[in-house]
Chains A and B, each alone.
Chain A
């Protein structure tokens, strides 16, 4: 059986949990310790959706902060992406808006899903913004996730996987 392979980027501000989400999804591991990502860490996960095998090549791209923006070279060849916010920090919302704009400018419109991470401390979440609400409306799916509790993680990646396969079928038809 053939396998469809696609590149997926995880994008967001620093310390929103991009690495933790991948670690939970790929290795079923969560660490409380925050370890910053340098450059990009590449992992792979194969999933089966409706009798089709999809191999996701997951690019865990370093988080944006006051000193560094994501370089467009990391986005080359992506088929879809996951935007990750930490709703306990409103500053991470504006990062998503600019990152999404950068993807659309440099690559074009691609399937993406939105992860509102750290749902295990939802009582600390701040209110969404108009800009974030607009982004939610464009996403293929919006998920409240907790890498720590393994909540919503599988659903997040599976939703993007479905969108990738749908886009792939559209290209082939």
Chain B
């Protein structure tokens, strides 16, 4: 899949070796100016140039601020069993949203965390019941 160089420049600047899977580029008003990859893999919607991003992608609600600060939302689950890292940054007078599939490591993390928290709950229960 061909992605704009600006996406790779951003990921390089934050020392990320992640492989981006999809992106949206939005103008100041939040309209999609360009789209690449398969965003529908991560969400139920499909994107088209000229659409208002928030109408298609509710998960972006609140994130499209104008402060131009980069933002990373780790392990975002938009579909059951599938996690994505969301990267938002500004470049070339556009706001970019990049989707990086993180399902494999999130699933491993979930298995570890599940075991740890179940043990913690048991400890709490023993403390309560003596």
Instruction: List residues of A whose CB falls within 8 A of some B CB.
Output: 5-7, 14-15, 34-42, 44, 55, 57, 62, 65-67, 71, 73-74, 76-79, 88-89, 91
Contacts and interface: CB of A to CB of B under 8 A. Distances in A.
Nearest to B120: A65
B73 A5 contact: no
A44 B77 contact: no
Q: Do most interface residues of chain A lie in helix, strand or loop, or is the interface mixed? A: loop
Interface string B116-130: 111011001000100
B15 to A, nearest CB: 18
A78 B116 CA distance: 30
- 6 closest cross-chain pairs (CB), A and B: A77-B62, A39-B75, A7-B62, A41-B77, A57-B61, A7-B61
Nearest to B74: A39
Interface residues of B, number: 29
B113 A15 contact: no
27 contacts: A5-B61, A7-B61, A7-B62, A14-B117, A15-B121, A34-B117, A34-B118, A34-B121, A36-B117, A38-B77, A39-B106, A42-B76, A42-B77, A57-B62, A62-B75, A65-B117, A66-B120, A67-B116, A71-B74, A73-B71, A73-B72, A76-B62, A76-B65, A76-B73, A77-B63, A77-B65, A88-B128
A134 B43 CA distance: 40
Contacts of B71: 73, 76
A114 to B, nearest CB: 21
A141 to B, nearest CB: 22
Given A37-B77, A67-B116, 20 more contacts: A5-B54, A7-B61, A14-B117, A14-B120, A15-B117, A38-B75, A39-B73, A39-B74, A39-B76, A39-B83, A41-B77, A42-B58, A55-B58, A57-B62, A65-B120, A76-B62, A76-B63, A76-B65, A77-B61, A79-B62
Interface of B: 54, 58-59, 61-65, 71-78, 83, 106, 109-110, 113-114, 116-118, 120-121, 124, 128
Nearest to B75: A39
A87 B78 CA distance: 30
A49 B29 CA distance: 28
B127 to A, nearest CB: 10
B58 A57 contact: yes
